[in-house]
A and B are shown apart, each in its own frame.
Chain A
Amino acid sequence: MNFIWNFPLFSVVSCLFCGVICSVLPRRAAKTLCWSLVSIVTLMSAGVLYFTASTGESFTYMMGHYPAPWGNEVRAGILEGAMALFFCVVMLLSLVAGAKYLDKDVEESKQNLYYSLSNLMLSSLLALVYTNDIFTAYVFVEINTIAACGLIMIKGNGRSLLASAKYMIMSLLGSGMLLLGITMLYDVTGHLLMTSIHEEVQNIVSSGSYSEPMTVIIALMCVGLAIKSALYPFHSWLPDAYGYSTPSSSAILSSLVSKAYIFLLLKIFFRVIGWEVILDNKITDILFVFGIIGMMMGSISAIMQKDIKKMVAYSSVAQIGYIYMGFGLGTLEGVIASIFHIFMHASAKSMLFISLAELGEVSRGKTLLTKLKGAGYRNKLAGVAFTTGAFSMIGIPLFGGFISKILFASAAVDMNSTKMVVTLVALAVSTLLNAWYFFRAVIRIYTPHRKEKDKYFSISTAAAMVAFIALNVFFGIFSDIVIEGIQTGLAMFL
């Protein structure tokens, strides 16, 4: 037994512990503690990834004195390690980059609670990634939901309160459906451990009993997690939640929270129910349809927005549509493309939100399309970051978005003719729509206008932005390594 096996436990529990400690510390100490903790957890996640990649095997870790079906268990493979590392990195960068806006947006006496919330949020994200027990997943989904509400509402003005109320109602509806699904699944299989449920479900399906409850269970879990990750018809909470919260919150919410739920859905597909059963139940076709509609409607809504922050938020709806569309293709290539898109979208979207906040800062605090004229000259680094993110979203070569679109297209080519045609047309149209609104924004911020120095320069934000740009370029240029990792990780998953 290697010492690295303990890292998942340490990273989850230390996040919980520091989250509690932060609530009594003064603001500066809480900030230091939070930043250093996230850095340490990043290193630990890197260790897990390195270990699983070098041994080429996943490991399970017993939580306590009792082995798996009786006690809790966590599991880590390449995919889990990569997700955890990626979540930690984006979390750290978002927190560092958004720190200077906290002073403006959040009351001074409540800033330590912000760090407390973000620590607990990270712990729930990591637990969702590592857990091998579906009820543990539900418990941490609860923490995640409440922490996300807190992160939205901490800004404290009317709009963010309304947004968090909206988020809470929709998200709790999703949690409720997930819980119903888990309860019924437990009733049918008698297990909560993912591995045992998987075996039991295969037995049930081959014996042919409980076929209707099985369909309902799968539907409940899918719809619940689709609401929580804002698939198209359930996206109404998203634009307000992302648009009206403090920049680091929007970055964390858009890039991590929805992605963690998608990863949980992936776990349910592969490790709980089984991919074959999912395909037999045709749920992928439904996800495919809604994914395609989401790609179109998200982009069209984004075009109609005057506030770029809202526009970027609506673009998230479209990108979530891409991910579900990839699941909907029903092949492993499609799923690999979706996972790559999760990485790419999370890194680009968090950078877009942070750089938008920076651009708004030098445009009298407004992020309206009309006010941002020439903002790219006033804050050059933020302009470059926004452009990088926008190019990545559109799918320009050298950036991550291009690779994920290629992966989606090549996965679609292997499909039957209807799905292939629909996917390729949708990809083409959606790319054009993306280009429309993102190029408009980029041209706008580089239209010459009054010159003004950036008065609010801060080293930490600039450093985080450079790191964000590097991360995005990494996904574009070194995509081979990432895709290979995803492939081996997914093979371990099965």
Chain B
Amino acid sequence: MSRIREDYERTPWRRLVHFINGDEESVAERAGYEVETEEESVRIHDDFFHEVEWNKRKEEADTLISQYEEWPETKGLKYFQKIYRLMSALICVTIIVLLLMTVAELPTLGEAAHPINNEVSGRYIEKGMEETGAVNIVAGMILDYRAFDTLGESHVLFIASCCVLILLRIDSKGKGSTKEEAEENDRIYEPKNDAILQYVARYLVPIIILFGIYVVFNGHISPGGGFSGGAIIGAGLILYLNAYGFKKTERFFTAKTFSTISVIALGFYALSKTYSFFTGANHLHSIISPGTPGNLLSAGLILPLNICVGMVVACTMYSFYALFRKGGM
């Protein structure tokens, strides 16, 4: 019968088994040191040193060890932060210098020979109004020539508001703070019937919202459009909320309103543009006509799309504010 070797636990095979099993192996064992028991070591040291000297040495060793252990938290972190800041500043400066040097090499802006003055922008400027029916050729570009990009862009807004909803909306069954608590906390921000704010808001809010609607509706005629007009309307709604509180705004704007408006607007956007892309690519006759440039009802799909984008932007702005304030609308 074979006997178990004395150093059986330290054979490579046993170590592999331990490693696979994920058992913790002591540092000393891994390094291959002989592990002394405490009694043994004390005995050995007693033989060589006087007791006094031994204690002194032990004290020294203890302070050294404690210093070593504290080093990362005290000095190490400081050094690291210093080096980190220095390095990041250096990298920033290098990249800034590099990019500035590159910009200096780029073609001069406004020059006639600039590469961007080619047939692409030429057609936008010369035929833009005729082909899209929009006097504002920027609107014509983003909502007709390159409508696919803008379709993506409006969904960027939607998905951003989805993420904010996920992050901030508090549902009553939530683990942390409940809906009631959040509304309780929100009372702090509720207006204490501030007369000045309410008086100013009474006159300003209608003007702001009307101006926003004007910008949206004239997006194809004058500078502006869905994104800018929507932002103005959203700002007006936020001012109204600050002056009069959730009680007043909840009469016409709830979470349901938000989802209905964004679904209808984006759904209309996607469907109408699919129709337009489909007919365009397949060279079919499209019922959408550019109309007379300059009229309010002209420019084909641009006006309805501006309205859609405006509604989505306004709702998103307002809902961001409401979500940040009390985790709901």
Interface on A for B, CB 8 Å cutoff? 1, 5-6, 9-10, 13, 16-17, 19-21, 23-24, 61-66, 69-72, 107-110, 113, 116-117, 120, 123-124, 127, 133, 135-136, 139-140, 142-143, 146-147, 149-150, 153-154, 156, 161, 180, 184, 186-191, 200, 210, 212-213, 216, 306, 369-370, 373, 440, 443-444, 447
Contact = CB atoms under 8 A, between A and B. Distances in A.
Interface in B1-15: none
Given A23-B259, A184-B102, A147 B280 contact: no
Given A139-B149, A184-B102, A373-B21, A150 B162 contact: yes
30 contacts: A6-B278, A9-B278, A13-B151, A13-B273, A13-B277, A17-B266, A17-B271, A20-B155, A20-B158, A23-B162, A23-B263, A64-B280, A64-B281, A72-B149, A110-B166, A116-B162, A117-B159, A117-B163, A120-B158, A136-B148, A139-B156, A140-B152, A142-B156, A143-B152, A161-B167, A184-B102, A187-B116, A190-B115, A212-B101, A212-B102
A87 to B, nearest CB: 17
A478 B225 CA distance: 54
B71 interface: no
B171 interface: yes
B159 A120 contact: yes
A200 B115 contact: yes
Given A153-B167, A190-B116, 10 more contacts: A20-B266, A66-B131, A70-B123, A113-B162, A113-B165, A139-B152, A153-B166, A156-B166, A216-B98, A440-B20
Nearest to A62: B281
Contacts of A187: 106-107, 115-116
Q: Which 7 A-B pairs have the closest CB atoms?
A: A190-B115, A65-B280, A139-B152, A72-B148, A150-B163, A190-B116, A370-B22
Contact of A20 (B160, B167, B267, B278): B267
B186 to A, nearest CB: 20
Interface in B255-276: 259-260, 262-263, 266-267, 270-271, 273-274, 276
A188 B115 contact: yes
A21 to B, nearest CB: 7
B156 A17 contact: no
B99 interface: yes
A295 B52 CA distance: 56
Contacts of B115: 187-190, 200
A71 B124 CA distance: 10
B32 interface: no
B105 interface: yes
B5 to A, nearest CB: 24
A188 B155 contact: no
Contact of B120 (A9, A69, A161): A69
B297 to A, nearest CB: 20
- Of the candidates A123, A127, A143, A154, the one having the most CB atoms from chain B within 10 angstroms of its own CB is A143
A63 B152 CA distance: 13
Given A13-B273, A71-B146, A154-B166, A146 B102 contact: no
Contacts of A64: 144-145, 147-148, 276-277, 280-281
Contact of A63 (B22, B148, B162, B286): B148
B159 A146 contact: yes
Given A70-B120, A142-B156, A188-B115, A16 B146 contact: no
A75 to B, nearest CB: 13
A51 to B, nearest CB: 15
A66 B155 contact: no
Main secondary structure of the interface of A (DSSP, over half): helix
Interface residues of B, number: 64
B147 to A, nearest CB: 6
Contacts of A139: 149, 152-153, 156
A149 B169 contact: no
Contacts of A440: 19-20
B174 interface: yes
Nearest to A61: B281
- Of the candidates B98, B106, B147, B278, the one having the most CB atoms from chain A within 10 angstroms of its own CB is B106
Nearest to B286: A65
Interface in B69-89: none
B281 A20 contact: no
A419 to B, nearest CB: 28
B119 interface: yes
Contact of B171 (A110, A123, A190): A110
A120 B161 CA distance: 13
A108 B280 contact: no
A443 B18 CA distance: 12
A156 B274 CA distance: 36
A213 B106 contact: yes
B282 interface: yes
B117 interface: yes
B118 interface: yes
Nearest to A186: B116
A62 B147 CA distance: 12
B270 A20 contact: yes
A116 B161 CA distance: 12
A16 B145 contact: no
Contact of B118 (A107, A110, A147, A191): A191
A190 B22 CA distance: 60
A386 to B, nearest CB: 16
A57 to B, nearest CB: 17
B155 A13 contact: no
B56 interface: no
B173 interface: yes
A66 B155 CA distance: 23
Interface string B120-164: 110110000001000000000000111111011101101110110
Nearest to A370: B22
Contacts of A213: 102, 105-106
Contacts of B263: 20-21, 23-24
Contacts of A147: 159
A6 B160 contact: no
A180 B99 CA distance: 10
Given A64-B148, A149-B163, A370-B22, A190 B156 contact: no
